[in-house]
Structure 1
Amino acid sequence: MKVKMFFMVFMVLAIALVPAAFAAEHGGKEHGGEEHGGAKVSEPSADQIRGVMNDYVIEQSKKTGTFDVYDDEAGKMRKLSLVRVHERVGKTGDYYYSCADFRDTVSNETLDLDIDVEHKDGKLAVKDVRIHKVNGKERYTYDANDNRIPAAGSSK
């Protein structure tokens, strides 16, 4: 009887203390891309990539108050305001990418931009920004392997 009681107390304590041990190791705050001891994480998370994109747009917008992108097809500078960065993050070659929705502050058109991010030497940096859609009309699309291909009816 004493053995059963001891075993039950031991199990209750073990079950109660195991989560506390894990909580001490990972106390709920993200460690920002580095493992213990400062080693770099090999692949960035989708949240980190989206964060870099968002920060880039904010930083670039400080110059003029808008995110300015030249539109080759329309032959004009677009003055944009960020609406949101999409959840999906893809990878093509060496770059991660995601779409972001913008509002043209002059024409009030909706633009979908693709933003490429490079992960090099443990750092993330935006490398390219392209206009993917204007008012829902695609200028290009992606195949099953995330390669860019011209959209049907696109001028490029």
Structure 2
Amino acid sequence: MSAMVTSALRRWGAAAVAVAFCLGVAVPVMAADYPDFDDASVTQRTEQVIKERSKDGVFVFHDPKLDEDLNLVYEKMRVVRGMKGYGWFANAIFHDKDDPRKQYALDFWFKPQRDGDSLDLIDIRVQKGPKRDGDGYIMVTRLPVAWWWLPVQEHPGDMEVVRAWHVMSAIHNYIAKNKDANGALELKDDKTGETIPLEFVEMHQPIRYLKKEGHYFACTDFRRMGSKDEYYDIDFWVDEKSGRLDVSDVKIHKVPVKEDGVWIQVPRYTFEGMDFEITQ
């Protein structure tokens, strides 16, 4: 890495790291408040997870976006980053077991256990996937990007400003913490009384802030476990009443209804009349 790029990364912080990463530039590990871990130990833990979840050298990952199993072969670690207060993020390169030209970049999110001696795997998300380019493939970034690629370095005096990625992190933490052994977030439908097992697909952007209520909220896509077409729009409401950002309510915004053999989403409520602003 050139001295000029390194200097820019130090000045611009996390935003530069995200941009540089997308451009394929090697970046240094960001400072994190986990002195017992570094890029080497996080890489070792990531490769341990990959090995534990592989069979005959094939790592099987269920891609919630495509709703299909990816059969991948691990190639190398691309970059490891620590984010103070949020954990470690390892980005690893894989290729399709049947077509090495098709490459994927997967993010592994880890957080230290309370004893500080080991790293818990919180989630795995596809950061880049293959796209046909002539006779071959290139890797393209999945949109919307995961919240851990969004941080920007606040200016002095702005540390108390809540950013969109702070809210997204709180929601993702809630989802990860409340998933069952099968990876489903069980949500009770207040209207029907049914408990619905849901698979997290993605989080919408932008994040909104309700001025009057003092709540942030974000819309998310979930799919009913076992179904390919039943999608739910779930709203997460977040506040700071406890002194930190916590999910205070989870509401079903849209439900799948079958009409003429096709599943469509029907809203339970609207946001008309609500005074909100966009959180950057």
Post-superposition offset of 1:41: 2.5
For residue 178 of structure 2, the aligned residue among 55, 60, 63 is: 60
Kindly tell me the number of residue pairs found equivalent between the two proteins: 129
Q: Deviations over 1:51-72 (max 9, x none)?
A: 2111211110045631000012
For residue 112 of structure 1, the aligned residue among 203, 224, 233 is: 233
The aligned residue for residue 163 of structure 2 is: 45
Distance 1:124 1:106, change over 3 A: same
User: How does the TM-score come out when normalised to structure 1?
Assistant: 0.66
Distance 1:36 1:133, change over 3 A: closer
Distance 1:106 1:87, change over 3 A: same
Q: Which runs of 5+ in 2 are unaligned?
A: 15-29, 31-82, 86-150, 257-264
Query: Any conservation in 2 of the 1:85–1:98 contact (CA below 8 Å)?
Result: yes
Residue 89 (1) aligns with residue 218 (2): no
The aligned residue for residue 73 of structure 2 is: none
For residue 247 of structure 2, the aligned residue among 112, 116, 126 is: 126
Counterpart of 2:207, as a letter, is: V
Distance 1:44 1:66, change over 3 A: same
Give % identity. Answer: 29
CA root-mean-square deviation: 3.4
Distance 1:62 1:122, change over 3 A: same
Aligned counterparts of 1:111 and 1:146: Cα–Cα separation in 2: 24
Distance 1:35 1:71, change over 3 A: same
Post-superposition offset of 1:121: 6.0
Q: Which moved more, 1:117-126 or 1:136-145?
A: 117-126
Question: Helix, strand or coil: the match of 1:52?
Answer: helix
Query: Any conservation in 2 of the 1:40–1:122 contact (CA below 8 Å)?
Result: no
Query: Any conservation in 2 of the 1:42–1:122 contact (CA below 8 Å)?
Result: no
Q: Which runs of 5+ in 1 are unaligned?
A: 1-16, 148-156
Q: Deviations over 1:91-125 (max 9, x none)?
A: 22121000000001155521001001112465111
Distance 1:63 1:94, change over 3 A: farther
Q: Which structure's residues are more often helix, by fraction? A: 1
Query: Any conservation in 2 of the 1:67–1:81 contact (CA below 8 Å)?
Result: yes
Q: Which structure's residues are more often strand, by fraction? A: 2
The aligned residue for residue 222 of structure 2 is: 102
Residue 72 (1) aligns with residue 190 (2): yes
